[in-house]
Structure 1
Amino acid sequence: MLKLRSKVVHVGIDPGVNVGFALSWAGELLQLQTLDFWSAIDELRLLAEGAQLHVYIENPNVNKPTFFKKGANSVAVRENISQKVGSNKRDAQLLIQFVERLGVKVLAMPPRKAGKITAAGFKQLTGWAQSSSQHARDAAMLVLGR
């Protein structure tokens, strides 16, 4: 657990079945991981006890309900996409409400307009040499303001 009360720890969260979780302190990326929903809740609770936090959560609620992808021509495929998007939106709402209940500053952020970033692009942009999932990179982009 971090004991960094003198500065704000920034937490980026990309909600979903696999939750991207990133920590930044004093402009430096400290940690990237991919967690399940309940592990993310546990991590937030522990961090809130030991550090001053600002939490940035990707808020998919600003998006349209169904995304049309190339090859997603059938009703079944579009309904499956809609179900996943709905689940993701609810996860984001629950995470936002949990952070607010902790008394921690939370910023609900729109999804990144520039799209996904590759591991190689992320390394070049941030200097992060360790492996990272797409979810963790998305969370990191929230705390890094990019």
Structure 2
Amino acid sequence: MESQTMTDPSSGNVASEVARHRLLVLGFDLGVKTGVARYFDGKLLALETVKPWGMRDLLEASCLTAARVDVVFEDSRLQSKLFSANKATGEAKRLKIARDVGGIDAWCTLLEHECERLGLRCLGVSPADKGAKVAASAFDHITGWPGRTNEHERDAAMVARPFRKGFH
């Protein structure tokens, strides 16, 4: 698992930084490599990549870090168009895409059930509504994140960014 955390230098450590927060917004980009973004009181403070089967432990631990936890995720089930308009795409490739999306759909369902079990507010966002992928240099400019990122972490941060101060 890769993890990066940005802390206030005056705080000294992540635990003391987290203990002061009222709102944690978790952003998820689900897949075999699941990107996770953590916005504490509207500020992006942590990015990591986890295995999707680790979501349950991550959600349970997150409940201890803030007074309120909201979850926002890219929900593949909300976009009906799956295949390229390119007629040259072969049948094998289309079937692989369908299997991959089916797996992500299952992770979306699991995430919703875990949020419900824990009493967390959960919001799925269509990939089309999330917008296009963001390059690392643009991500740094948009979010102020100084560290290295991968596409999964950037997607998780961007899907949650509009809701970083919570949602109603």
Q: TM-score, normalised by structure 1?
A: 0.90
Which residue is 1:63 aligned to?
79
Provide the alpha-carbon RMSD of the alignment: 1.9
Secondary structure of 1:67's counterpart equals coil
Tell me the number of residue pairs that the alignment of Structure 1 and Structure 2 aligns: 145
Bigger-Rg structure (1/2): 2
The answer to whether the Cα contact below 8 Å between 2:79 and 2:128 also exists between their aligned partners in 1 is no
Matched, 1:117 2:130: no
Cα shift readout 1:52-102 (whole Å, capped 9, x = no counterpart): 201111111011263216586210111001100111111111111111110
Aligned position for 1:133: 150
Unaligned runs of 5+ in 1: none
Corresponding residue of 2:64: 49
Amino acid at match of 2:43: E
Q: Is the 8 A contact 1:57 1:96 kept in 2?
A: no
Three-state SS of the structure 2 residue aligned to 1:116 is: coil
Distance 1:72 1:41 in 2: 40
Task: State whether structure 2 residue 22 is matched by structure 1 residue 13.
Answer: no
TM-score relative to the length of structure 2: 0.79
Counterpart among 100, 109, 112 of residue 93 in structure 1: 109
The runs of 4+ residues in structure 1 deviating greater than 4 Å are: 69-72
**Percent pairwise identity:** 30
Aligned-residue offset at 1:143: 2.1
Contact (CA 8 Å) 2:34, 2:152: kept in 1 or not?
Answer: yes
> Which residue is equivalent to 2:3?
none
Contact 1:21 1:40 in 2 (8 A): no
